[in-house]
Amino acid sequence: MTAAAEHYDRLLAEHLTWMLGGDIEALATAQADLLRRLGLGARPEERATAVDLGSGSGPQTLALTRLGYASVTAVDTSTALLDELADHARRSGAGDAVHLVHSDIRGVLPGLADAGSVAAVVCMGDTLPHLLARSDVVHLVSEVAEALRPGGSFVVTYRDLTAELHGPDRFMPVRSTADRILTCFLDYVDDDTVLVHDLLHTRQQDGWILTTGSYPKLRLSHRWLSEQCRAAGLAIRHDDAGPGGLRTLHAVKP
């Protein structure tokens, strides 16, 4: 994840919550509603644990605490985003339940939890395509399946970028407000990779400043990702496209 991690550290991390709408509590409520509809949730007496891979500023981490998970480990490569998440957790009263891990999401699960012990693992907000190669995705899914307890859930939200866009359709407005405008556009490198270019305009006292950056994302089809989950021993419970172009996949360990 080096390319994506550097891109976030240099350009996107300080703007991520703004990119998502700016209201972390509303974002956490929306994530909790989604996870609840998928059947996730824990009774307090269970002391169930969950892991949020690529937590960002924490909407899904906070959602998991709201759904009754006694311990939620948030993993991200950005110290700035983890610091922001810690602040949100304290303000919401979930500070004792949230544990922060500054790490790449690849290979982190075996060191976080015993095999067969985790009630839920989530990897949301288009994090999975940030991995560098399809083999990384295969290994991650395998590690998730190993960490989950029987009946445990794996939830992914991501964009299926396998359908190539052309011309101006490659340009996508992300968000604009009085002081910031973020637009991205896509270059298709090959069947596996798309190059994402971010153009961020920020208003300063002397005018607008443009900051740019690019990073690769994987083109993961929903059929291929479902196949990897099944190959790892997980059963697909839900797989469809939702608002904003994000697909939601929910797989369960039998």
Q: What is the token pair recorded at 111?
A: 């060191």
For residues 124 and 173, membership in a common domain is answered with: no
Q: CA 237, 242, 245 angle in degrees (round to 5)? A: 125
Domain that holds residue 175: 167-217
Q: pLDDT under 50 in the chain at which residues?
A: 1
pLDDT of residue 70: 96
For residues 36 and 118, membership in a common domain is answered with: yes
Q: What is the token pair recorded at 62?
A: 């906070």
Measured CA distances, 161 to 43, 153, 194, 195, 217 (Å): 37, 24, 8, 11, 9
d(CA 51, CA 55): 9
For residues 55 and 146, membership in a common domain is answered with: yes
- How does pLDDT run across 18-29, given as a tens digit for each residue? 999 999 999 999
pLDDT of residue 160: 96
What is the side-by-side order of every strand in the sheet holding 193-204? 171-176, 180-188, 193-204, 207-218
State the CATH number of the domain containing residue 175: 2.20.25
pLDDT of residue 245: 80
Q: Which amino acid is at 129?
A: P
Residue 229 · residue 155 · CB < 8 Å:
no
For residues 91 and 146, membership in a common domain is answered with: yes
pLDDT of residue 45: 84
Q: Which amino acid is at 229?
A: C
d(CA 193, CA 215): 10
